[in-house]
Structure 1
Amino acid sequence: MRRQLIFFILFTLSLTIGYTQQLFRYFEQDSVEQDSSKKAVLLQFIGDGYLPTKYFNFDLRYLIKYNQYEGIRTGLGGVTNNNFSDAYRLNGYVVYGFRDDRFKYSLGGGFRISPKRNTWINLTYTEDLEETGSFGFLTDKRLFQLFEPRLLNIDLFHKHITKRLNIEHQLFYNVAAETEFALRNIRTTYDYLYRLPNGDAFGEYDVSTFRFTAQWSPFSTFEYINRSIRETRRAYPNFSFQYTKAFKDVFQGDLSFSKFDFRAIQQFDHVNTAQTEIILSAGIVNGDVPLQYAYHAYPNNVNKETIMNRFSVAGINSFETMYFNEFFSERFASLVFRHRLKAFEISPTFKPELVLLTKIAVGDFDDTERHENISFGTLEKGFTESGIELNKLLFGFGLSFAYRYGAYH
């Protein structure tokens, strides 16, 4: 089975590479003006993580990844494009983890009911893994990274089977919203029990949730293009709000809790091309909250005995000196300050960048004893680290240094 799968993956990769080469040959045969335009479109697709075909765009995020639970994770996925239909779409993926020897997949589709407001109704069925304690916003735009540093060392995952209905809608020109109704079955991949005050304990449970998210970009520029609202110039600050409610005994839900998340991003572009970015994130969750719905602070430090085994690659907004699974919170706030200096123009092709960093996190957790077979700390004393990055040294990679100080030094 594994030999067949490896052959299938290699065959698919060869087809992908061959198709990309054909695209560029096609561009080279066209006029200079058309060639430049088409290459720009292709690069935009690839920058967003897609490889376009006539009716279907392959999603490059699923080609190959690595984490501590699955080992190598590889597969295929994608979504239909406007040549297939501008009113309907189909999407999905299938991946395989070599270490856990399991397939994961997702199938979905949607239809657009209001082109002017870019309103879509989508249905999705997913069986996959999630990192325990991670959180995000429904309205976050797609972020593609061919190499995702934090994934290499994550080992605390839970399995989930999710059936969801979500509605995307542009409330106003500068406010995008998304609403989701989801039924989820959660099973941990590690030894863990969540105990309710009445004594009931769950290692596997069902949750029925409603989630509403809004992203407000008050200073960005939006235009009505091709029958939909599009952001043509991004400006800061922007704000994201998200409310989640889990209902007990609704569609056999086992737990009841509420969760509110907030994020503000401000960016300053200086006249000398230097840039300052400030990200404030906060969240609070109340009720019967298992660890899977708590918060971590995106740690990125490996807790192993010897220094040589503590290999990690710095992330964008992760805490480089915080160990994986070291802290969890029910009330959480973090502040990330990044200042990128003007690039050092050593040569036309070698322009390294120096970035100064300071990151702060604070949190709290009630009734940690209800989370059995796992130990973790809380952040009520405040966690601080500072450091530097020297980027774009070789093939886009660089070096980083971070120092942890304060109460948890």
Structure 2
Amino acid sequence: MLKRYIAIFLISLATYSLAQNPVSKAQDSIEIARDSIKNAEFLKNIGNGYLPIGFFDLDLRYLIKFNQYEGFRTGLGGITNDLFSERYRVNGYAVYGFKDKRYKYSIGGGIRVNKASNTWINLSYTDDLRETGSSTFLTDKRFFTFFEPRLLNINLFHRHITKAISVQHKVSNHLLSETQFSTSKINPTYNYNFVLDDESYNTFDISTAKLSLQWSPFSKFEVNGDKVVVTKDGFPKFTLQVTQGFKSVFGSDFNFSKLDFRTIQQFEHSNDAKTTMTLVAGIAGGETPLTHLYHAYPNNITKETILQRFSVAGLNSFETMYFNEFFSDKFSTLQLKHFFRPFKISERFKPQLVLISRYALGDMKSISRHQGITFNRLNHLYSESGFEINKLLLGFGLSFAYRYGAYHLPNFEDNIAFKFTFNISL
């Protein structure tokens, strides 16, 4: 618990220090304008998670993190920028976990074959950890926070050594695509066996092909020089991803299919308030091990009292759902948030109230295939509601959530999640 709070403090302190970088004041008006542009560009890069150093952009994601398996994880990584080449790029990282005492790394690169459609062919080799049950979309634009709240408490990881080739292609300004073929050697770091046809696998090889599409039909764009920039981030947005696992291809052990979908809707109100709705769904069929199935992004640790479970609330996680409580081969979640207009108590103190409701539903057909780990089915509606009061002090706020409905627990305290939040804008 102490290590977790130290990690939160260190990362948050670094975040606040970077966010408070002042704009230098020059006497000459032209220099002021230039400095403002440079600072705006610098903060934009920082907000995207990069620190430009010449022809190389240092990736801030790898500087310091903390989780239950690796403890503190620190390292360096980055990607070359246009000063290096507008056609070629090289990226990679190397990190070290102090608790598991292992190095992890990735090396890759890409070549742009068409500038108009921003088509890139990429290659990568990665030896790292991944959270079991997590699911991501290839086409997601880079999402960066100075620390990831859920990561502090995750303990269920699997090691993967993955070789991948992918093609990024902009079909139109509104439609982005990415196709990837990869082979992976999977080794769970926990006690797990996948039983299939009287054979038990505790390590396995997987070869997959993925196609991901991101459609933003209501966003608006304009040409700025030789670049297309977003002038209006329109809603709703839709993302679809199809995954196919191939048995016996490059030694792969399983044949399975997955379909993942997400849509995000946002309503802007006249009083500076807004409402967001996020629907996520996924289904997996065939011979799918637990590593490639789904959880509903839980964010509650298994401790006896509310204060022992006090940690950091996530951005889109279920705060009252315990880690490793549910796994599913098909699931859907709906999250509703209403952001009230910030309370302007002073120019620097503007806390904001957010009302939140979350719902999840899923199922698991063949629990008996997954041995060595205990979990529940999510075949009834999971419900939680609560609120956040954000930006009370230096970006910190408070969060409260209550679990009710089909999965309400007998002990009243076990249904409550009381945490703090961290939100800061660059």
TM-score where L is the length of structure 1: 0.92
Residue 381 of structure 2 contacts residue 406 of structure 2 at CA under 8 Å; is this kept in 1?
Answer: yes
Residue 270 of structure 2 aligns with which residue? 271
Residue 255 of structure 2 aligns with which residue? 256
- Aligned AA (2:396): F
- Aligned AA (2:152): L
Q: Deviations over 1:220-270 (max 9, x none)?
A: 012344445443321100100000000000111100000000000000111
Residue 345 of structure 2 aligns with which residue? 346
Residue 137 of structure 2 aligns with which residue? 137
The 2-side partners of 1:212 and 1:382 are apart by 30
Residue 159 of structure 2 aligns with which residue? 159
1:195 matched to 2:195? The reply is yes
- Aligned AA (1:349): R
The 2-side partners of 1:331 and 1:84 are apart by 44
Q: Deviations over 1:125-155 (max 9, x none)?
A: 0000000000011111111111211011000
Residue 65 of structure 2 aligns with which residue? 65
Q: Secondary structure at the match of 2:384?
A: strand
The 1-side partners of 2:37 and 2:215 are apart by 32
Residue 5 of structure 1 aligns with which residue? none
- Aligned AA (1:324): F
Residue 10 of structure 1 aligns with which residue? none
Q: Deviations over 1:7-57 (max 9, x none)?
A: xxxxxxx9xx99x99x97798997111111111100100111110011100
The 2-side partners of 1:180 and 1:230 are apart by 26
1:391 to partner: Cα distance: 0.3
Residue 88 of structure 1 aligns with which residue? 88
Residue 403 of structure 1 aligns with which residue? 402
Residues 1:226 and 1:177: Cα distance change in structure 2 (over 3 Å): farther
Q: Secondary structure at the match of 1:297?
A: coil
Query: What's the RMSD between the two structures over aligned residues?
Result: 2.0
Residue 173 of structure 1 aligns with which residue? 173
Which shows bigger deviation, 26-35 or 268-277?
A: 26-35
Residue 281 of structure 2 contacts residue 333 of structure 2 at CA under 8 Å; is this kept in 1?
Answer: yes
Work out the percentage of aligned pairs sharing the same amino acid: 54
Q: Deviations over 1:151-192 (max 9, x none)?
A: 110000000000000100001120000000000110000000
Residue 31 of structure 1 aligns with which residue? 31
Residue 371 of structure 2 aligns with which residue? 372
In structure 2, stretches of 5+ residues that fail to align are 1-13, 409-426
Which shows bigger deviation, 219-228 or 112-121?
A: 219-228
The 1-side partners of 2:355 and 2:23 are apart by 39
In structure 1, stretches of 5+ residues that fail to align are 1-13
Residue 237 of structure 2 aligns with which residue? 238
The 1-side partners of 2:242 and 2:103 are apart by 32
1:79 matched to 2:83? The reply is no
Residue 27 of structure 1 contacts residue 38 of structure 1 at CA under 8 Å; is this kept in 2?
Answer: no
The 2-side partners of 1:42 and 1:400 are apart by 31
Q: Deviations over 1:195-230 (max 9, x none)?
A: 01x111111000110000000000101234444544
Residue 3 of structure 1 aligns with which residue? none
Residues 1:351 and 1:121: Cα distance change in structure 2 (over 3 Å): same
Residues 1:235 and 1:146: Cα distance change in structure 2 (over 3 Å): same
Q: Deviations over 1:352-392 (max 9, x none)?
A: 00000000000010110110011101111110000000000
- Aligned AA (1:361): A
Residues 1:160 and 1:340: Cα distance change in structure 2 (over 3 Å): same
Q: Secondary structure at the match of 1:292?
A: helix
Q: Secondary structure at the match of 1:155?
A: coil
1:308 to partner: Cα distance: 3.9
TM-score where L is the length of structure 2: 0.89
Q: Secondary structure at the match of 1:309?
A: coil
- Aligned AA (1:142): R
Residue 364 of structure 1 contacts residue 378 of structure 1 at CA under 8 Å; is this kept in 2?
Answer: yes
- Aligned AA (1:34): R
The 1-side partners of 2:369 and 2:37 are apart by 58
- Aligned AA (1:274): A
Residue 416 of structure 2 aligns with which residue? none
The 2-side partners of 1:248 and 1:379 are apart by 29
The 2-side partners of 1:24 and 1:268 are apart by 33
